[in-house]
Structure 1
Amino acid sequence: MVRFKNRWLLVEFIPCGDAPSSHPTPGLNGGDSSSKQIWAALKQSVITNFGDTGWGAVGTSLTVKYYSPRTNMCIIRVAREQHRIAWAALTLLSAIDGQRFLPHVVHVAGTIKQAQLAAIRHNREVVARYRAQARTPVAYQDSFDEYLAISEQEIEALQD
């Protein structure tokens, strides 16, 4: 029996709006609809940039496993052989459902567990940067503690 080998892309969607936001919130609607929007935008990007042949190679294995409107993080599964096409299509993606985003591929993993660990690590780094900018003391309790706890629970709940 042969198992299917996948790559897991951890992507952060950085909003590109005219008005700067005070905290990290995306412009996409929450829930499954945003996962579907990301999948549809990624599909259109693959078709536009790589044609029907590119979509034929990537389309059967491409799934958006996780998207969090709280963190703007997305975990995408694609077949190992075609992960570079999906990565390139992500990089060339500029808007999702009419809203501009800058996709940043944070990590590429061979297992969902490694993608989860990278997502949790990335969230902690982002919060540490916000705290450093605000010059808060190390033991200071703020809303980011709840933010980290909720995002960590959401990410760890993922199953392959």
Structure 2
Amino acid sequence: MVAFKNRYMVMEVFLDPNKDLSVEDPIIITKTNLEKAIEGSIRLNFGECGWASSTNSFQVKYVNPITKVCIFRASRNEYKKVWSSITMVRSIGNCPVVFNLLDLSGKLEYR
């Protein structure tokens, strides 16, 4: 039996501080919002073939909407494609965002 080799990326989401939040409701970071934004970025930058190769193992494992810390899982062969697509995401919904990689690991460790 062969174990699937994955990479886990711990990322922080920065919302645009210059946006006037009094006009609209602030965006709430959820798994579905992140999955849609990243899927769109992978399809835009790498096409359908790139999405098909990375969708097998890509998953949003954890999202904290208060601290805006997220954990993404991708296969070891595809993590660079997913990582580069995540950094190319410029907005979630109508809210401009920027991602910052905090840690890249081969396994999840809870301390």
TM-score (norm 2): 0.89
Q: Which residue of 2 aligns with 1:152?
A: none
Q: Which residue of 1 aligns with 2:18?
A: 18
Q: 1:98 to 1:52 in 2, by over 3 A?
A: same
Q: Which residue of 1 aligns with 2:3?
A: 3
Q: Which residue of 1 aligns with 2:63?
A: 67
| Structure 1 contact 6–110 (Cα < 8 Å) conserved | yes
SS at match of 1:57: helix
| Structure 1 contact 28–69 (Cα < 8 Å) conserved | no
Runs of 4+ in structure 1 deviating by more than 2 angstroms, as ranges, are: 27-30
Q: Which residue of 2 aligns with 1:28?
A: 27
Q: 1:92 to 1:2 in 2, by over 3 A?
A: same
TM-score (norm 1): 0.62
Shift of 1:19: 4.9
| CA distance in structure 1 between the partners assigned to 2:13 and 2:57 by the alignment | 21
| CA distance in structure 2 between the partners assigned to 1:8 and 1:83 by the alignment | 8
Q: 1:97 to 1:20 in 2, by over 3 A?
A: closer
Counting matched residue pairs gives: 107
| CA distance in structure 2 between the partners assigned to 1:28 and 1:99 by the alignment | 6
User: RMSD of aligned C-alpha atoms?
Assistant: 1.8
What letter is aligned with 2:38?
A: L
Question: What's the CA shift string for 1:15-68, capped at 9, x where partnerless?
Answer: 1132599xxxxx4326xxx11110110000000011111101111111101000
Larger Rg: 1
Residue from 74, 87, 90 that aligns with 2:86: 90
Higher helix proportion (structure 1 or 2)? 1
SS at match of 1:105: strand
| CA distance in structure 1 between the partners assigned to 2:64 and 2:12 by the alignment | 10
Q: Please, which runs of 5 or more residues in structure 1 have no aligned partner?
A: 22-26, 118-160
Shift of 1:70: 1.1
What letter is aligned with 1:11?
A: M
| CA distance in structure 2 between the partners assigned to 1:16 and 1:102 by the alignment | 8
Q: Please, which runs of 5 or more residues in structure 2 have no aligned partner?
A: none
| CA distance in structure 2 between the partners assigned to 1:108 and 1:77 by the alignment | 10
